[in-house]
Amino acid sequence: MTQLSNREARIHHSFNKAAESYESAAFFQRYTAKKLLAHLRQKLGDRQPRRILEVGCGTGFLTQLLREEWPEADILATDIAPHMLEQAQKRAGSGVSFRIMDAAQPDVTGPFDMVCGNLVFQWLAHPQDVLNRLNSILQPGGIVGFSTLLDGTFSEWQEACAPDQAGTPVYPSADAVQRLRPALCSGVWVTETCVQPFQNAAAFLHHLRQTGALVPRVGHKTMSISRLKRAMVRFDAAGQGISWQVAYGCFQKPTRAGVFVTGTDTGVGKTFVSACLVKAWKALYWKPLQSGLADEQGDTPTIENLTGCGPDACFPPAGAFQASLSPEAAAHAEGVSIDPASLALPLRDAERPLVVEGAGGLMVPATDTLMMLDLAQKWGLPVVLVARSGLGTINHTLLSLDALRQKGVAIAGVVMNGPLNPANSQTIAQKGRVRILAEIPHQAEVSAQAVSHVAATLPLWADISTE
């Protein structure tokens, strides 16, 4: 294990010392372990993980649940505190491997089908770096899931200590956590508030000591005994319990390389951008649902003509219809319905990027029960959002980005299409917290030459996939 910082060493000492008392005091930790398992189970669906890594296992509450839920899985449970690992081994029994490891510096070799940790995330000084490292050892389609404490935890004690500063740790804000995710993975953070009753302030402080959570915030100056007693009196007089603010985040790595191309509207240039991406990345192409064949040849032949990729690089549509309507309406016009089961993401050549082009915008009906947004969520590919560069694009683009985030869809970036408008691009990048992948000027002619020219200016697939 690598050398620990001063704060990491204090955390290590605190949890190691609390190993014996942790079992009787960690009611909330048991609760969050069960809730996290439920989120992991929901994200996995009917899949069975074969290899699981748990970081910060403590005394093994989550470890035991993982063992019971997936008895055939190979589970590696890790923690920074050796005494905690001893307790976890007693709890989980045989069939689990244990190892001393700092969650902030994971040094294990993948691939894993699942990586998880219960109430360890808030102790990470650089959580995004850790998520990216753990993502790199996930199998395609693998799951990473954490629970974490949030700002507002122990607010009752902090109020009782005012105007002095409580020594309780500084936990991340809900907004900050919502921005943390493994690169290009789909998923969301879900928050909740729990209240745990304590008889008095002394019982609460004793609980922190028993669970190893008494490491004070950085820069905290210890209160005098008299001020601490006054804070305890104020806490007791309020007659309240202690609030825990917690978030659960579960994210899935894409099952294959690729992106889903959608737009802020119809006619914003999705097919042209898709052709440029296919050309730039030597990618495969799939137009799942094609309508409007009565008026045009369709997007798949267009991609072949513009890129020269050949029919072997293009998967056939799952549904093709004559009317220039939404896929759902076009199918109904022909007296048929689209079977959602037919819309399975192609997995051939899974390491080669696949450009999936949607129909219209995110809220276009794809089937009787699914919008394009639902398909983006189902397929789990990061989205490339194509937007007009001119008037009205800020509203449409920010609304589309918000809809994607509400569904937990990863966003690779935005492509601005049309006359260059630096002000709009800058506003969308800042307000939408998104990368502008390209600004494509107006093309006098949509041709193979134009596609080749624009493709040469786009980010490489390696740049996208390692964001």
287 is an active site residue: yes
Spell out where 293-353 has E strands. Answer: 314-315, 319-320
Task: Give the helix/strand (H/E) hosting 433.
Answer: none
Phi and psi for 311 in degrees, rounded to 5? -65, -25
At residue 440, the 3 state secondary structure works out as strand
Phi and psi for 338 in degrees, rounded to 5? -90, 125
Cα–Cα distance list, 321 to 33, 212, 293, 330 (Å): 49, 63, 6, 6
Q: Exposed, middle or buried, 197 (CB in 10 Å: 0-12/13-18/19+)?
A: exposed
Task: Give the helix/strand (H/E) hosting 292.
Answer: none
Would you state the structure tokens that stand for residue 123, as one six-digit string?
Answer: 């102790």
Q: Are 30 and 90 in contact (CB under 8 A)?
A: no
Q: Which of 253, 270, 279, 287 is catalytic?
A: 287
DSSP string, 348-398: TTTTS-EEEEEEEETTSB-SSS-BHHHHHHHH-PPEEEEEESSTTHHHHHH
- Longest CA–CA span in the chain (Å) reads 84
Of the candidates 212, 220, 211, the one whose C-alpha atom is nearest the C-alpha of residue 158 is: 220
Q: Are 391 and 422 in contact (CB under 8 A)?
A: no
Q: Are 363 and 391 in contact (CB under 8 A)?
A: no
Angle at alpha carbon of residue 240, lines to 195 and 26, rounded to 5°: 40
At residue 105, the 3 state secondary structure works out as coil
At residue 37, the 3 state secondary structure works out as helix
Q: Residue by residue, what is the 3-state secondary structure of 150-188?
A: CCCCCHHHHHHHCCCCCCCCCCCCHHHHHCCCCCCCEEE
Length of the chain (residues): 467
Spell out where 239-374 has E strands. Answer: 242-252, 258-263, 284-286, 289-290, 314-315, 319-320, 354-361
DSSP string, 414-432: EEEESS--HHHHHHHHHHT
User: Residue 146's beta-bridge partner residues?
Assistant: 117, 249
What DSSP designation does 282 have? T
Active-site residues: which are they?
A: 287
